[in-house]
Copies of this chain bind each other. A is one copy, B any other.
């Protein structure tokens, strides 16, 4: 799994430190083997819970999405292993702890990891590209936010993932222009973030895609 979050103004990825050979001590993406009666998606969720120690109901609520399958015959030195990679976008979660095959688990900010075990650098790069692109034409950005969030928080997700800054006024209008992208929380107290005017709270809506797409500024959809 390539599990992404936005924390402290940076895109971060969940890594585990390997507790066994091969690649003992190296950092890697969390993952494991599929059991005989499991689908890959079920296995992904189980392994994520085991290796990170996150609460069962936390993991159950995560949005997991299949990325792609890596099947090069030599990608694991022990034997032939075919891996089905998944991507998850999660809100700022409690700190994970190691477990299972993983000695430790932690969030690492974008670009701050040494080379990973196996072909996980490649998988992570693929996942990173996909996440950037998905924000343009889906409503997945809300997955990075807690259940209730302000439009400023949502905008910061886009800015962090894309590495750009967006005009707050225009961003707000684009988001609100797609019915069902976000829904105002009815009688909600407005949230005061320390400074500035308190912001209205929204929940993720039912729409899966903004229309028109929220294209990156000056950007080819890389």
Chain A residues in contact with chain B, CB under 8 A? 34, 36-41, 66, 68-69, 71-73, 80, 82, 84, 137, 209, 211-213, 215, 220-221
CB atoms of B66 and A36 under 8 A apart: no
A69 CA to B39 CA, complexed, in Å: 10
B221 near A137: Cβ-Cβ < 8 Å: yes
| Chain B residues in 8 Å Cβ range of A212 | 215
Whether B71 contacts A68 by the Cβ 8 Å rule is no
Chain B residues whose C-beta falls within 8 Å of the C-beta of A215 in the assembled complex = 212
Q: How many copies of this protein are present in the complex?
A: 2
Chain B residues, CB < 8 A from A82: 40, 82, 84
Among the interface residues A36, A68, A211, A215, which one has the most CB atoms of the partner chain B within 10 A? A68
**Of B39, B80, B213, which contacts A221 at CB under 8 A?**
B213
27 chain-A/chain-B pairs, Cβ below 8 angstroms: A34-B71, A36-B73, A36-B80, A37-B73, A38-B73, A39-B71, A39-B72, A40-B69, A40-B71, A40-B82, A66-B68, A66-B69, A68-B68, A69-B69, A69-B84, A71-B84, A82-B82, A82-B84, A137-B137, A137-B221, A209-B220, A209-B221, A211-B220, A211-B221, A212-B215, A213-B213, A213-B221
**What is the CB-to-nearest-CB distance from A178 to chain B, in angstroms, rounded to a whole number?**
10
CB pair B39–A73 under 8 Å, yes or no, is yes
CA distance A40 to B83 in the complex (A): 11
